Structure 1
Amino acid sequence: MANLLTLLSAAAEHGAEHAEPMAFGFITPGMWVAGAMTVLILIALFLGVPKMLTGALDTGISEIKKQLDEAKALRAEAEALRKEYADKIANAEKDAAAMLEHAKHEAEAIVAKAEADTTAVIARREKMAEDKIAAAERGAIAELRAKAAEAAATAARGLIAANHGAKADKKLVDEAIGSI
């Protein structure tokens, strides 16, 4: 074995080529591979493998085209929906702005009406208070007059009773008869 190793290392040092195996004296290993590939390709052609491959590829291509067409249709539909919802949002914003403006005008009208009503209520209450004060004044004046009249009547009664006697009454009666 050592002799074989020395021979191989010596051959490698001198650049010697080793012998390539051959069958029938002219078929090299590369020829065997080329022949096997040729036979394999011929069998594949005979069995219709290229047609099967192209058919499968065509089916795949048509399926991909169909999916692309569906995707385009879906995209167009999605764009239409997006535009529709964008329009709806814009309309909703306009409606909201209009509603807000209307609510502001209503609130201003309600405030103005409340101010007018408050002014009217205040004026009415002032008038009622003035009427009550005037009625109380009239009542107080009437009561005062009544008390004054009563006091005057009482005083007159006392004076008449003190100063008038039968003699004074006769004189008054005679004057009254004389004036008739």
Structure 2
Amino acid sequence: MRNTLALILAAGFASPALAASGPFVSLGNTDFVVLISFIVFIGVLFYFKVPGMIGGALDNRATGIQSELDEARTLREEAQTLLASYERKQQEVQTQADAIVAAAGEDAKLAAEQAKVELEASIARRLAAAQDQIASAEASAVKEVRDQAITIAIAAANEVIAKQMTATEANKLIDAAIDEVNTKLH
């Protein structure tokens, strides 16, 4: 308080009031009246303990700021904890996603191998069916050739037999055939 009063007096003496002409301590000198009014005003402020109230208000404000800082620090720590938790969860999810992708890759490989085996089996079945068709076509062609050859051979034999056979030989063959049928039927 003494320092404040000393500061006020020093400000008052260093003011242009000293530069005023005439006697300083006079109610006609406005500088002196302003100085006296200022000192009275400061005295009233100290009488009503305004500096203490201002100090109290500042202390209350400092306490409020400190509590806000503490709350902000607590919130920051909670946010860091929450962030760490989310980072752990994100890493776990990433690990699970990597495992799913790896499993899907393995499944795709197995499916590709199985499809390859099935394709090879299908090709083998179709090849076997084609070979069966070829064998059947060959057998049919051979049978046709044989049937044709038999037909031609019979026709040729008929001509040869017809040219070489006489009526008596033909009658003998007919009688032999009738006898053979009788023995087989009876």
TM-score normalised according to structure 1 size: 0.72
Secondary structure in 2 aligned to 1:108?
helix
CA–CA distance in 2 between the matches of 1:124 and 1:172? 55
The residue correspondences of 1:96-115 to structure 2 (distance < 5 A) are 96-115=97-116
CA gap 1:40/1:169 in 2 versus in 1, 3 angstroms: same
List runs of 5+ in structure 1 lacking aligned partners: 1-18
The residue correspondences of 1:68-83 to structure 2 (distance < 5 A) are 68-83=69-84
CA–CA distance in 1 between the matches of 2:176 and 2:52? 164
Secondary structure in 1 aligned to 2:128?
helix
CA gap 1:174/1:53 in 2 versus in 1, 3 angstroms: closer
Question: In the alignment, residue 54 of structure 2 is paired with which amino acid?
Answer: L
* CA deviations over 1:8-46 (Å, ceiling 9, x no partner): xxxxxxxxxxx995649xxxx99x95x766544431122
CA–CA distance in 1 between the matches of 2:147 and 2:174? 30
CA–CA distance in 2 between the matches of 1:173 and 1:150? 22
Quote the offset at 1:173 in angstroms. 5.6
Secondary structure in 2 aligned to 1:139?
helix
Question: In the alignment, residue 46 of structure 1 is paired with which amino acid?
Answer: Y
Instruction: Name 1:127's counterpart in structure 2.
Output: 128
Quote the offset at 1:63 in angstroms. 1.7
CA–CA distance in 2 between the matches of 1:67 and 1:119? 76
* CA deviations over 1:36-87 (Å, ceiling 9, x no partner): 6654443112222023202211221122022112211220221022112211
Instruction: Name 1:50's counterpart in structure 2.
Output: 51
Moved more, 101-110 or 167-176: 167-176
CA–CA distance in 2 between the matches of 1:132 and 1:175? 46
CA–CA distance in 1 between the matches of 2:84 and 2:24? 77
Instruction: Name 1:84's counterpart in structure 2.
Output: 85
CA–CA distance in 1 between the matches of 2:124 and 2:57? 98
In the alignment of these two chains, the number of paired residues is 154
The residue correspondences of 1:14-29 to structure 2 (distance < 5 A) are 21=23, 23=25
Instruction: Name 1:139's counterpart in structure 2.
Output: 140
Quote the offset at 1:130 in angstroms. 0.7
The residue correspondences of 1:31-50 to structure 2 (distance < 5 A) are 39-50=40-51
List runs of 5+ in structure 2 lacking aligned partners: 1-20
CA–CA distance in 1 between the matches of 2:38 and 2:138? 136
Question: In the alignment, residue 99 of structure 2 is paired with which amino acid?
Answer: A
CA–CA distance in 2 between the matches of 1:125 and 1:22? 131
Instruction: Name 1:93's counterpart in structure 2.
Output: 94
TM-score normalised according to structure 2 size: 0.70
CA–CA distance in 1 between the matches of 2:24 and 2:169? 193
Instruction: Name 2:16's counterpart in structure 1.
Output: none
